[in-house]
Amino acid sequence: MLGRSAWGIFWMARYLERAENTARLLDAGFRMALTRGNTVASDEWRSVLVTLGMDEFYTGDMSGPAITNWLLRGAGNSGSVLSMMEAARTNARMVRTAITREVWEVTNESWMQLQSLLAKPVKEADLGHVLDVIRRQATSVRGAMEGTMLRNDIFNFARIGTHLERADNTARILDVKYHVLLPSAAWVGSRLDNAQWEMVLRSVAGERAFRWLHAGALDPKGIAQFLILDGRFPRSLAYCLRKLTSNMEWLCRDYHQETAAYRMQKEACDKLSKTTITDIFEHGLHEFITEFLATNRLVADAIAADYRFTE
Amino acid sequence: MPSTTISSYDEMLDAEGNVRPAYAGYREWYEAQSPKWLEKQGKNAEDVFRRTGITFNVYGEDAGQERLIPFDMIPRIITADEWKKLSRGIDQRVRALNAFLHDLYHKREIVKAGKLPERLLAQNEAFLPEMVGFTPPGGVYTHIVGIDLVRTGPDDFMVLEDNARTPSGVSYMLENRETMMAMFPDLFTKVAVQPVSEYPRALARSLATCAPPAAQGSDRPVLAVLTPGIYNSAYYEHAFLADQMGAELVEAGDLRVVDGRVCMRTTRGWRAIDVLYRRVDDNFLDPLTYNPDSMLGVAGIMDVYRSGGITIANAPGTGIADDKAIYSFMPEIVEFYTGEKPILKNVPTWRCSEADALAYVLDHLPELVVKEVHGSGGYGMLIGPTSSKGEIAAFEKKLRANPDNYIAQPTLSLSTVPIFTKAGLAPRHVDLRPFVLVSPHGINITPGGLTRVALKKGSLVVNSSQGGGTKDSWVLAE
C-alpha cells in the first residue's frame, strides 16, 4: 500500500480514538460537576484541559459550559471533538480506496451528525446526549472496521493508531490525577480523592469492571494497577502495548522485515510485563508515565520512518 | 433565467401528447406509483448520495465546501435503434480524433492538404512540442473520451463538444444507475435496460492494453490514478475509479522518478507504475517541462514517458483536439481521416478570428451563444437570448478586444426530458455525455452516459457548476 495511505489510516484511527477519549473525559468532568456544583468542580474541569494538554487555555474562572464547548466545538481549537472528527473524516476520504464502503460511510455519517449537533453551542441540558452520540459513533466506526475490513496491513496500521493513541490517553489521565487534582498529599484517601479516582475510572469506562474485580473497593493503588497492568482491560497500558506489539509483529512477518520500531516496542512490552505496581510507585508514578509517553512517541516516529509514511 | 421561446423536441411526448415508444414501458410503471412515495424515494436518494459522499467541490467557495449534484429520478431513455446510430457516429468521430492527433504530432498531412490552417496549431497552448515525433504506447492518444451531445429533433443529435483530455462524470453515470436500481428494483424487471456497470473493468482492460515498452512481458501492468487530491472538484470520481479498478489512487507527493521509472512510495519501498490514468492537466504534469510551480505533477515524468517507461492516459497534448477552434473543423477532420461523411453533425460555428464571422457575430449577439475557445464548465460564456443589454454590451467589448479567443453558435432548441416535480412531470432541457474507451483493439462505448439536466424551467444551462442536475441515462435492450 502507499506510504501516504498507511499514514492516513493510522491518523484516522488516532483521531477517532482521541475524539472518543475527549468525550469520555468530558463525561467524567460533567459527572463531577453534577455532583459537586460548577464552582467547586472547577479543579476537575481544569484537570480535563490539563489531561488534554490544553491548560494554557484555562483562564482561572472558567465555567464548565465554556470548557465543554471549547473542547467540543471551539473555533480554532484543532483538538476539539469536531475538529478531530473532521480530521478523521478527511483522512478517511484520502484513503477511501483502502477502507471499506461501510467504514467510509459510517465515518462520513458520524461527521455529518456531529456537524449538525455542534452547529450551535451545546446547552448543559443537552451535553449528556451529545457525549452519548459521540461515544456511540466511535463504537460504530470501530464496529464497521472490525466487521468488514480485510485483516491485512491496512487493518494493522489502523489498529496500531488506535492502541498508540489509547495508551497515550490512559497514561495522561493517570498522570493528571496524581499531579494536578490533589491539593496536597494530605488529601490522599480523602472523600475528594476517592471521588476523583472514580472520575478517572469513569473516563476510561472502567468503573464497572473495577468494582467487579475489587468488590466495590476504591483504592488508588488498585486503580493504578488496574489501569497500567491489568491486561484484561482494553484501555489499560498493558493491553494496549500487547496489542501494539502483536500488530507490529504481524507487519514484520508480512513484510519479511523486522523493524527497529518493532524491537523497541517489544522491549517496552516485555519490560512492562515484568513490572509490578510496587516497582512503579517506588520509582514514582509520574516518572514512570513520563518515560512511558516518551517511548510511545519514539515508537510512533519509528513506525512512520519504517513504513515511509512521508518523505 | 427567463424561458426561451423556441419550441423544443420533447423526448417523452409527441406533438399530440402521446407517449413515444422509448418511454412506453417506463410510463406504464410510473403511472402505477404513488406520487407521495416517489417524492419520498427522491429524498432517500439524496441521503444516500450525501452519506456515500458523492459530492463535488465548488471552486471559489470555502475550502472543502462539498455539494451534491441534484439527482432527478426520471430516467432519460434512448431506444436501441437510436443508440446504434449514435454509436456509429461516436465511433467514427473518436477514430478520427485519434488519427488527427497522430497526424498533428507527425506528418501534418491535414495541414499540407489545406484542410486546417497552420496558425491554429502554432498559437495553440494545448499543442505540446514535446509530443512531436513521439507515438504513445499502443498508438492511442485519447484513451478516455466524453462526447457531449445535444438533441434537437427525432433524428438530430449534434456534437456540442469533444472532451478528449480529461472528461469527468463517469462516476455519476455509474452511481445514478446504482441508485435507481436500489430505489426501484421492480422497474428494472419491467423495462430491459442495457447495463453500464462494466465500465471500470473495461477501463482497466483498455488501459492495460496500452502498457509501455518497459512493462512488456508482465501479465498485469501496474495501474494508478493520479489525483490532485481531496480538494479537487472531481476527487470523488478519482477515488471511485481507482477503487473499482483495483488501482492505487496516487498524489504527486507519492511519486518520484527512480531508475528511469515513475515510482510510487509504498510501505514496502518504491514501486514502478506502468500505466498512469492522470486527472491533472498537461500544464501541471511535469514541473521540469511545464509549469515549474506545479505541486501536482512528477518531476521528470515526460522523460520517462518519451523513453517508454510509462503510459500516460490521456496522452499529453490531446487537449488540442477538443479545443473549440478546432471543433469547428471537425466535419473536415472526420472526412479527412475516415474517408466517410460525418454521421454526427457539428453545431454551426462562427470563428470570431475570421473577420466576416466576427462581423456577423457582433451584429447578432442577442441571438447567439458565444464561448471562450479554451473555456469550460459554462464559465466565460454569453447566452444572447437570456442576457440583459448591459451584459451583451460588456461582452461585446471583450469580444472586440480579443476576437481570436471566441467562437459563436446559434442558440439551439435543446430537447427536453421530464423531471420529477411536486406538481408532476415537467420538461427540462438536457444534454448527454457518453463515455468512450480507446485501445489498440478498438473502441468501446458504454451504452448510456451522463445526462445533465437544467432544473430551472426554460433554462439551457445544464452544467453542474451552474446548478444543473443529473439523471440516469438508459439505452433500452433490443
Range 225-244 of B in CB contact (< 8 A) with A: 229-230, 235, 239, 242-243
Asked if B268 lies within 8 A of A104 by C-beta distance, the reply is: no
Strand order in the sheet with B248-250: B248-250, B223-226, B275-278, B311-313
pLDDT band at B233 (very low <50, low <70, confident <90, very high): confident
**Nearest of B334, B2, B322 to residue B164 by alpha carbon:** B322
Asked if A3 lies within 8 A of B267 by C-beta distance, the reply is: yes
Pairing of strands B435-439, B223-226: unpaired
Contact residues for B60 (Cβ-Cβ < 8 A; gap 6+): none
Q: What share of chain A is helix, strand, coil (3-state, %, to 5)?
A: 75, 0, 25
List C-alpha distances in Å: B372 to B32, B118, B379, B388: 47, 20, 8, 19
Start-end of H helices in B299-341: 301-306, 324-327, 330-338
pTM metric for this prediction: 0.90
Strand locations in B282-433 (E) = 311-313, 345-346, 350-351, 368-372, 382-383, 406-410, 416-421, 424-433
**Nearest of B162, B73, B50 to residue B451 by alpha carbon:** B73
Count how many residues are written for chain B. Answer: 478
Residue percentage of chain B with pLDDT more than 70: 96
Asked if A311 lies within 8 A of B265 by C-beta distance, the reply is: yes
Locus of grid cell 515549474: B292
pLDDT value for B1: 39
Which string of b and e fits B235-246 if b means at least 16 CB within 10 Å? bbbbbbbbbbbe
Contacts of A90 in chain B (CB under 8 A): 64, 230
Kindly report the number of other CB atoms within 10 A of residue A40's CB atom: 12
Kindly report the number of other CB atoms within 10 A of residue B139's CB atom: 13
Is B253 near chain A, with CB under 8 Å?
Answer: yes
pLDDT value for B122: 77
> How far away is chain B from the Cα of A107, in angstroms, using its nearest Cα?
9
The whole-number average pLDDT for the span B231-256 is 93
**Nearest of B27, B31, B30 to residue B11 by alpha carbon:** B27
Preceding omega of A38 cis (within 30 degrees of 0): no
pLDDT of B377 over the 60 cut: no
Least-confidence region, from A201-205, B20-24, B75-79, B255-259: A201-205
pLDDT band at B121 (very low <50, low <70, confident <90, very high): confident
Least-confidence region, from A32-36, A240-244, B328-332, B431-435: A32-36
pLDDT value for A180: 59
pLDDT of B444 over the 60 cut: yes
Out of B64, B243, B254, whose CB is closest to A96? B243
Out of B53, B243, B265, whose CB is closest to A97? B243
Kindly report the number of other CB atoms within 10 A of residue B363's CB atom: 10
Least-confidence region, from A37-51, A68-82, B7-21, B170-184: A37-51
The whole-number average pLDDT for the span B215-233 is 91
Locus of grid cell 462516476: B171
Contacts of B269 in chain A (CB under 8 A): 308
pLDDT of B2 over the 50 cut: no
Q: Which residue has the higher pLDDT, B206 or A27?
A: B206
Residues of A with CB under 8 A from a CB of B: 1-4, 6, 90, 93-94, 96-97, 101, 104-105, 108-109, 112, 153, 255, 307-308, 311
Q: Phi/psi at A34 (nearest 5 deg)?
A: -65, -40
> What radius of gyration do chain B's Cα atoms show?
23
Q: Phi/psi at A281 (nearest 5 deg)?
A: -70, -35
DSSP classification of residue B296 = S
Q: Give the N- to C-terminal CA distance of chain B in Å, as an integer.
A: 39
Residue B132 · residue B141 · CB < 8 Å = no
Is B133 near chain A, with CB under 8 Å?
Answer: no
Locus of grid cell 493503588: A221
pLDDT band at B170 (very low <50, low <70, confident <90, very high): very high
pLDDT value for A242: 97
pLDDT band at B323 (very low <50, low <70, confident <90, very high): confident
Locus of grid cell 454569453: B382
Distance CA A108, CA A141 (A): 10
The whole-number average pLDDT for the span B228-245 is 92
What is the average pLDDT value for chain B, to the nearest integer? 91
Helix axis angle, B355-363 to B389-401, nearest 10°: 170
Residue percentage of chain B with pLDDT more than 90: 73
Q: Which stretches of chain A score pLDDT less than 70?
A: 36-41, 60-61, 178-190, 192
Grid coordinates of A71:
473542547
The most distant pair of C-alpha atoms in chain A lies apart, rounded to whole Å, by: 58
Does an H or E element contain A27, and which? Answer: helix A3-36
Contacts of A307 in chain B (CB under 8 A): 267
Preceding omega of B314 cis (within 30 degrees of 0): yes
Does an H or E element contain B154, and which? Answer: none
Count how many residues are written for chain A. Answer: 311
**Nearest of B74, B106, B50 to residue B424 by alpha carbon:** B74
Kindly report the number of other CB atoms within 10 A of residue A230's CB atom: 18
